Each structure stands twice: as structure tokens, then as C-alpha cells.
Amino acid sequence: MTNEAHFRKLENMYHNALCNAYYEPKMSISEGETEVIIPIKPEFFHAAGATHGSVYFKAMDDSAFFAVSSLVEDVFVLTSTFNIYLTRPINSGNMRAAGKVVSQTRTQFIAESVVYNDEDKEIARGSGIFVKSKFPLSEDLGYR
């Protein structure tokens, strides 16, 4: 399989995940890097009128996770740990998370994600450790 075919299958898997119907994200994958764009909706707001941190986490975890997944063609990847830093609120426009793999060993990957608003101002950043699972990538997971 070519890398491009693997990337498109991962994108299909992502877009067909049931949880994404709520967030309506868009994703693009290249080798070791992923971009996730989530349109901000009032349904994401906490009581103070800005997007809840859970949406930031989703964008960062998704972009870092799939950056790692772009390098793993046989099994599903798992998030082991993830640290986040929320630096600016967002309540309109789009949240764009850029994830990239920064280190890898035989057993784990480290990936980072930076989130930007529509003015390209950084609004959050995070990093995590990811490991390979024992679940083969298959059509059952939406990998098609």
C-alpha cells in the first residue's frame, strides 16, 4: 500500500467515527503530520461563553494521534498520556490543530499539537505519548 492510500484510509476512519458527527471536523494527513479543523459552535461553550477545554483536547489528541498513525500501517494506535496548555479562549470561527511526530522509539511515539484560531494566533498546545495496540487496522474500524 502507498502512504497516500494509508493516509486516505485513516482519514475515512476518522470521519466515520460516530463521535465526529457532533464536532463536524475536517482532517488532512501527511507523513508524520496531521491537521484537524473544528468549526466552533455555541454548543461547545461553557458558562463564560467560550469553548470548553474538552474541545481543545479533542483537536490536539486527534491531530497528534493521527500524525503518529500515519507512521503505523498495521495496528491501531493508543494515546498513553497527553498534556495540554490552554492559552487563549475561542468562541467563533475555526479551531485548527496541527499535530506532528517529534520522536519515536521501538515502543512509543511522542507527538505535539499546536492549536490556532482563524487569525493564526496560538490558543493551545499539547504533547502526548502514543503506543501501538494489538488491534489490527481493518475495515471493522472504518479503515477503508
Tell me if 30 is assigned to some domain: yes
CATH code at position 46: 3.10.129.10
Tell me if 115 is assigned to some domain: yes
Task: Report the pLDDT value the prediction gives residue 2, as an integer from 0 to 100.
Answer: 73
Q: pLDDT 10s per residue in the chain (144 long)? A: 679 999 999 999 999 999 999 999 999 999 999 999 999 999 999 999 999 999 999 999 999 999 999 999 999 999 999 999 999 999 999 999 999 999 999 999 999 999 999 999 999 999 999 999 999 999 998 999
Task: Report the pLDDT value the prediction gives residue 102, as an integer from 0 to 100.
Answer: 98
Q: Note whether 93 and 117 are within 8 A (CB).
A: yes
Domain span at residue 42 reads 3-139
Count structural domains, the chain: 1
Beta bridge partners of 118: none
The pTM of the full predicted model, rounded to 2 decimals, is 0.96
